[in-house]
Amino acid sequence: MEKVGINIKFNKPYITGKEIEYINDVLKLEHVSGNGVYTKKCQNYFQDKYGIKKALLTTSCTDALEMCAILAGIKPGDEVILPSFTFVSTAIAFLRQGAILKFVDSRYDHPGMDENLIEDSISENTKAIVVVHYAGVACNMEKIGKIAQKYNLIVIEDAAQAIESKYRDKYLGSIGDLGAFSFHETKNISSGEGGMLVVNNDKFVERAEIIWEKGTNRAKFFRGEIDKYGWVDIGSSFLPSEIIAAYLWAQLENVDIIQEKRLKAWNIYNSMLEKVSNQYDIKMPYIPNYATNNGHMFYLIFNSLKQRTSIIEYLKSFGIRAVFHYQSLHKSNYWINNNSQGNLSSRKLKMSDHYSDCLLRLPLYADLNEEYIDYIVNSIENAFERVMK
Ligand SMILES: *Cc1c(COP(=O)(O)O)cnc(C)c1O
């Protein structure tokens, strides 16, 4: 069954064909810097469809998260609650503002943060809860919202992986006070690098625009609301050029096609792998009834690091790139070497460490065809037989 010369990548950017046309249009319009017509088209997509008050295009999701940390008013000594099983950006955006990070474990049935453990981590210094919708699957936003209300905390959604996904009838990113999306090459909708800050709480809207424009009220000036602009706050150059926005618009305009393709691949994996994963007691993605699936990621959860490592090696020998994911942040070198914050490296976050060791992501991209999926599934069955007997 091994196919000679086959090479299935983990991810492959999807090109709609319109990207170059829209970039050419930008050149014709002679507005290549940020905040032009394509930036507005992208921002309006989120504002109109998701019901977000203010969306601002950024150069990355990391940037958008940094803006969240500034807007949330995080200062040295403030505590921020976040999962340990996440991308490093979720943490550094807040650490840079001086936050003390309080890592919370993942759920037993899903890599997302366990909402039942949040309250234990809250102190009088807690300022914000940062949720990560892992694999585009919603955290329990009702429960988290109630906790935030009870302790007067800001809720920030790291929706980097969560485009088009919902918690009940609400789009992810539209629920917390603030949120951030990613358009990195590895995400469903991409501009190579790129992100979006989304603001749902009125009180952050005006300041968000100022921080986005290097601490100036330039955006207001361009709308003709003031007659000159100047330096009014801190900020940075968080906005990308229209070239990026044009590329992104080509993708957003085709979001339905891209989502349909990804979901189709996801569903084929799900049905084809069900039997064999039951047979070997391997877990597949769990989607709570309040969450939707946006086809961002298909993963398997093995029972040990050793099992997973062998499977990765077998798949590699079959020409298939399957990869593991986050390593618990509370166990990272940086955290252990710089954690004068005292509380944590010794603490066990059992599920987070389990997913670090045992979760394996399978190739998934819009153009992954059925023939490839068939081959991948066959290879997995084959590898299971050899590794797990
Ligand atoms: C991809 C990702 C980010 C970072 O996105 P960039 O656009 O690359 O900065 C942050 N958080 C999570 C959960 C991600 O998956």
> pLDDT tens across 254-263, in order?
999 999 999 9
3-class DSSP state of 1? coil
In our burial notation (b when 16+ CB lie closer than 10 A, e otherwise), range 215-225 reads: ebbbbbeeeee
Q: Please give the distance, rounded to the nearest whole angstrom, from the Cα atom of residue 134 to the centre of ligand 1.
A: 11
Q: Please give the distance, rounded to the nearest whole angstrom, from the Cα atom of residue 189 to the centre of ligand 1.
A: 13
**What per-residue confidence (pLDDT) applies to 3?**
63
Residue of the CA atom closest to atom 14 of ligand 1: 160
Q: Please give the distance, rounded to the nearest whole angstrom, from the Cα atom of residue 198 to the centre of ligand 1.
A: 15
Confidence of residue 388 (pLDDT cuts 50, 70, 90): confident
**What per-residue confidence (pLDDT) applies to 73?**
98
Q: Please give the distance, rounded to the nearest whole angstrom, from the Cα atom of residue 153 to the centre of ligand 1.
A: 23
Confidence of residue 352 (pLDDT cuts 50, 70, 90): very high
Give the max Cα distance, the chain.
Answer: 75
Substitution site in 131, 157, 161, 165 for ligand 1 pocket (most atoms within 8 Å of beta carbon): 161
**What per-residue confidence (pLDDT) applies to 65?**
98
Substitution site in 184, 185, 244 for ligand 1 pocket (most atoms within 8 Å of beta carbon): 184
Q: Ligand 1: residues whose CB is within 6 Å?
A: 60-62, 86-87, 89-90, 132, 158, 160-161, 182, 184, 195
Distances (CA, A) of 137 to 145, 151, 290, 297: 17, 25, 9, 10
Compute the distance between CA of residue 258 and CA of residue 256 in angstroms, rounded to an integer: 5
Token pair, residue 363, equals 């190739």
Q: Please give the distance, rounded to the nearest whole angstrom, from the Cα atom of residue 386 to the centre of ligand 1.
A: 35
Substitution site in 11, 139, 158 for ligand 1 pocket (most atoms within 8 Å of beta carbon): 158
In this model, does residue 379 exceed pLDDT 70? yes
Token pair, residue 112, equals 């997302």
State pTM to two decimals: 0.96
Compute the distance between CA of residue 63 and CA of residue 233 in angstroms, rounded to an integer: 17
